[in-house]
Amino acid sequence: MKILETVKNCKRIGITGHKNPDGDCAGACCGLALFLRKAMPGVQTDIYLEPLPEALFENIPGAETILNEIPAGTEQYDAFIILDSIPERTGFAEPLFESAALKVNIDHHKTNPGHGDVSYVDGNASSTCEMVYDVIDSEMVDRKIAQALYVGIVTDTGVFQYSNTRESTMRLAGNLISYGFDFTSVIREVFFERTYMQAKMLGISLARAERMMDGACLFCSLDNGTITRYGATRQDFEGVSAQMLLTEGVDCAVFIHETKPGEWRASMRSGNIVDVARSASLFGGGGHTRAAGCTIYAGTGTEFAEAAKILLADIAAQLEADKDKDLKG
């Protein structure tokens, strides 16, 4: 698929990603918008996303043009593109997708069946940014576009450490850094650096994490009371499950925090065995084999404990099935 072919004749194009935008979602939206504004200068191209964390805002060129709400009087778009998401997870901009003349969906989540008139889903792509590079015309890539896409690749591959990193991912990243942006500081600020509150919440989460399933699963849950006591918000827990997975012997890390009373966000990571997207789908969530999430609606106490039991039982069953596989050789 080539995006210029898909949106030719369009005069107004809108782009969005998912709620709580991460580096891949925001990098893909901005990278694609910068390309379209350059390749189709007479066309109005707008980006709609929730406000970005500061590290992303500072490191993704084009982020300053993001709209955080729909301006009054906004008309229907000729084309509306959802990146790195399914329509249900887009949030405030979803009506613009629904009313658009042409609906486009580009995503690397294997649980996305594809939505709209034109969809391009590749569960093997490291990131949506890698897919955006495929659909744009490479001769028009410049330093800003390269940096925006690089942020997404770095985010979703964990700086090229996760198994979604392919040879082509590395080649593309090499090509992108040839445009000359300061990739050292991009990687540090986007991936490794934590805000003070993030560092604090990581410490609390790790201290509370418990081993289960003979140490193959590490589990932590934080209720809303604990979180509000510290004044933490959802973004302050970014990266916790990935850090939990770095514990020796752990194949599956489950971090759940109560974002508001009765609503829990589960973030899961796995090493080699557990398909966490399968476990997340039990609660209507999804994602990738090795990184997935879902929202659980349950009251604190036994209601939450029951829900967590269902999630953990699926993980235990997957670990058990793998053990059987080993025994059978």
* Distance, CA of 151 to CA of 310 (rounded, Å): 35
Identify which of residues 44 and 224 has a Cβ nearer to ligand 5GP in the complex: 224
* Distance, CA of 45 to CA of 49 (rounded, Å): 13
With beta carbons less than 8 A apart as the criterion, state whether 80 and 102 touch.
yes
* Distance, CA of 273 to CA of 312 (rounded, Å): 14
Supply the minimum distance, in Å, between the C-beta of residue 243 and ligand 5GP.
Answer: 12
With beta carbons less than 8 A apart as the criterion, state whether 204 and 194 touch.
no
Identify which of residues 46 and 238 has a Cβ nearer to ligand 5GP in the complex: 238
| 24 sits near Mn ion (criterion: CB under 5 A) | yes
Supply the minimum distance, in Å, between the C-beta of residue 265 and ligand 5GP.
Answer: 7
Q: Give the interface segment with ligand 5GP, choosing from 7-15, 54-62, 209-217, 280-288 (CB under 6 A).
A: 280-288
Window 290 to 329, contacts with ligand 5GP (CB under 6 A): 291-295
- Shortest-Cβ-distance residue relative to Mn ion: 24
Site string for Mn ion, 169-208 (x = CB under 5 A): ----------------------------------------
Q: Give the DSSP per-residue string, 76-131.
A: PPSEEEEESS-GGGSGGGHHHHHH-SEEEEEE--TT----SSEEEE-TTSS-HHHH
Supply the minimum distance, in Å, between the C-beta of residue 84 and Mn ion.
Answer: 4
Number of helices and strands in the chain (H, E): 13, 12
Q: Extract the tokens encoding 314.
A: 């699926």
| 84 sits near Mn ion (criterion: CB under 5 A) | yes
Window 50 to 89, contacts with ligand 5GP (CB under 6 A): 86, 89
In angstroms, how far is CA 49 from the centroid of its own chain? 13
Could you say which of 31, 53, 61, 286 contacts ligand 5GP (CB under 6 A)? 286
| Torsion sign across C-alpha atoms 160, 165, 167, 169 | negative
Site string for ligand 5GP, 255-274 (x = CB under 6 A): ------------x-------
Window 85 to 144, contacts with Mn ion (CB under 5 A): 128
With beta carbons less than 8 A apart as the criterion, state whether 128 and 106 touch.
yes
| 236 sits near Mn ion (criterion: CB under 5 A) | no
Q: Which among 293, 283, 188, 286 has a CA at the least distance from the CA of 240?
A: 293
- Shortest-Cβ-distance residue relative to ligand 5GP: 287
Question: Binding residues for Mn ion, how many (CB under 5 A)?
Answer: 4
| 16 sits near ligand 5GP (criterion: CB under 6 A) | no
Packing angle of the helix pair 167-177, 128-135 (nearest 10 deg): 70
List contacts with ligand 5GP (CB under 6 A).
86, 89, 111, 241, 267, 285-288, 291-295
List contacts with Mn ion (CB under 5 A).
24, 84, 128, 156
